[in-house]
């Protein structure tokens, strides 16, 4: 019902699978997935999550594993764009009168939007952060050592060397650490609306009507520049590409290893970016409650992982890792339930907390969000700002945004229904529902 198989044909080296309830609305993205299935050293199959839509090279929602290539188009420009969920001990009824002021305080404290900058990090501090990740941000006063336990890869991926990034990437990155950015990135104050699995929710520390905060942001201009630099270097390496946007390097080549290192620098930057924003949020919430990390997941990344006793380079672009119970790479506290999976909705709709399963169908991957149905230009043409704001107001959602254009581009009507996406991944056992979160206040760039 939800699994659509595209048999190997033409230059495809493996089959492709699209996991959706409506294959007719994504024809361009399917062509991209077929191109991914044509790349050398691809293993098993190419997969598309239910939030699939057209992207650069790989479709967004694309998952593929290779024995010996790495492709920047399979990672994307916003390397380790990811989601972090924070929990509090605050009951909604005690907090609702403070929501508007708290959103304003967060907006005033956290730099948001295109061109937003924070303090400049000196070269030595910046080097430590991109090479060693969130632990260095914590050592600089932005968090607690126990935070690391609840960040994917403990907030640090290696190898990561500053020697493998350009001067332009450094210049773009050093002023944007601790900033939210624009586009689909957000900070939301949310309420736990529904619990589907009380035992798992208790282990995660999630309780009905409690206040949580979700952060969705990535590596900003730093990651974008790294992607741009390495796509340019790889563009003309191979003449047999089905699409120039699928440029790649052999993983064990000098260029492949340099990109892998640079990509990891961007991933570490993103973990640190969310860590610094967490620090700001804790300051604002200190008068109400302690704020703890539930989990932090990475999207848009290539990871070296072992699947079926084979070491592979798993590309997840607009997809997230979803390891099942007792996997060695998840926190001890969560071993019995599986890795937490965070699937954000879009402005004005629910988000979901799920947990990974031992289903290895798509290299232990799951969806990362709702997935677009309208491109940003289409949204600007088709949607009405007053109507969008009115609909959000009717739902009691407070919105603070630097740009009216962003509100239109990221309006709920520009995305698939998140409930549909989550239902599919739950039914396919890619990850299982634990809790539903609804937005109370939203900050956009």
Catalytic sites, residue numbers: 368
356 labeled binding residue: no
Output DSSP code: residue 372: B
E strands along 258-397, which residues?
292-298, 301-307, 310-317, 319-321, 340-343, 351-356, 365-367
153 labeled binding residue: no
187 labeled binding residue: yes
Closest alpha carbon to 354 in 433, 301, 419: 433
How far apart are alpha carbons 134 and 150 in whole angstroms?
11
**Six-digit token pair at 243?**
């699409």
In terms of phi and psi (left: phi > 0; alpha: psi -120 to 50; beta: otherwise), the region of 10 is left
371 labeled binding residue: yes
370 labeled binding residue: yes
202 labeled binding residue: no
Residue 241 CB partners (closer than 8 Å, separation 6+): 247
22 labeled binding residue: no
Q: How open is the CA angle 145-149-155, to the nearest 5 degrees?
A: 85
**Six-digit token pair at 231?**
């796509």
**Helix, strand or coil for residue 52?**
strand
Distance (Å) of CA 360 to CA 331, 363, 426, 428: 19, 5, 14, 11
347 labeled binding residue: yes
Q: Quick one: angle between helices 254-285 and 123-132, nearest 10? A: 100
What's the maximum distance between 2 C-alpha atoms anywhere in the chain? 62
17 labeled binding residue: no
369 labeled binding residue: yes
**Six-digit token pair at 172?**
């773009």
224 labeled binding residue: no
Q: Are 276 and 180 in contact (CB under 8 A)?
A: no
Question: Could you identify the residue written with the tokens 């991926």?
Answer: 157
345 labeled binding residue: yes
99 labeled binding residue: no
- DSSP calls for 54-72: --SSSPEEEEEEESSEE-G
Q: How open is the CA angle 409-340-369, to the nearest 5 degrees?
A: 20
- Residues in binding site for GMP: 184-188, 299-300, 344-347, 351, 368-371, 444
- Residues in binding site: 78, 184-188, 216, 299-300, 344-347, 351, 368-371, 444
- Residues in binding site for Mn(2+): 78, 185, 216, 299
């Amino acid at each position: 019902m939800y699994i659509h198989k595209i048999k190997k044909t033409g230059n495809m080296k493996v089959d492709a699978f699209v996991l959706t309830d409506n294959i007719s609305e994504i024809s361009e993205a399917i062509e991209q997935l077929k191109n991914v299935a044509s790349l050398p050293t691809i293993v098993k199959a190419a997969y598309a999550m239910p939030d699939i839509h057209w992207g650069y090279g790989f479709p967004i929602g694309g998952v593929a594993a290779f024995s010996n290539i790495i492709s920047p188009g399979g990672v994307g420009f916003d390397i380790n764009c990811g989601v972090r969920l924070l929990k509090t001990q605050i009951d909604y009824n005690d907090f609702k009168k403070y929501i508007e002021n708290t959103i304003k305080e967060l907006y005033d404290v956290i730099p948001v939007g295109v061109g937003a900058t924070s303090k400049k990090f000196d070269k030595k501090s910046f080097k430590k952060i991109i090479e060693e990740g969130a632990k260095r941000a914590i050592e600089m006063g932005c968090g607690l050592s126990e935070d690391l336990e609840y960040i994917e890869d403990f907030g640090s991926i290696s190898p990561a060397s500053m020697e493998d990034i350009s001067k332009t990437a450094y210049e773009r990155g050093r002023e944007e650490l601790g900033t939210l950015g624009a586009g689909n990135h957000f900070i939301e104050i949310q309420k736990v609306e529904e619990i589907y699995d009380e035992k798992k929710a208790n282990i995660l520390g999630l309780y009905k009507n409690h206040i949580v905060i979700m952060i969705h942001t990535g590596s900003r201009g730093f990651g974008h520049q790294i992607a741009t630099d390495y796509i340019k270097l790889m563009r003309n390496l191979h003449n047999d590409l089905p699409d120039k946007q699928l440029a790649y390097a052999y993983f064990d080549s000098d260029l492949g290893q340099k990109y892998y290192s640079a990509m990891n620098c961007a991933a570490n930057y993103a973990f640190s970016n969310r860590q610094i924003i967490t620090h700001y949020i804790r300051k604002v919430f200190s008068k109400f409650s302690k704020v703890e990390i539930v989990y932090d997941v990475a999207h848009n990344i290539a990871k070296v992982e072992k699947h079926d006793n084979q070491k592979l380079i798993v590309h997840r672009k607009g997809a997230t890792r979803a390891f099942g119970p007792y996997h060695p790479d998840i926190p001890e506290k969560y071993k019995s339930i599986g890795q937490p999976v965070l699937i954000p909705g879009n402005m004005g709709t629910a988000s979901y907390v799920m947990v990974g399963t031992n289903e290895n169908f798509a290299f232990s991957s799951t969806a990362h969000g709702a997935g677009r149905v309208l491109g940003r230009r289409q949204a600007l043409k088709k949607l009405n700002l007053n109507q969008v704001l009115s609909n959000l107001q009717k739902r009691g959602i407070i919105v603070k945004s630097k740009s009216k254009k962003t509100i239109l581009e990221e309006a709920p009507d520009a995305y698939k229904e998140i409930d549909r996406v989550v239902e599919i991944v739950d039914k396919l056992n890619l990850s299982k529902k634990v809790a539903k979160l609804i937005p109370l206040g939203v900050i956009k760039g």
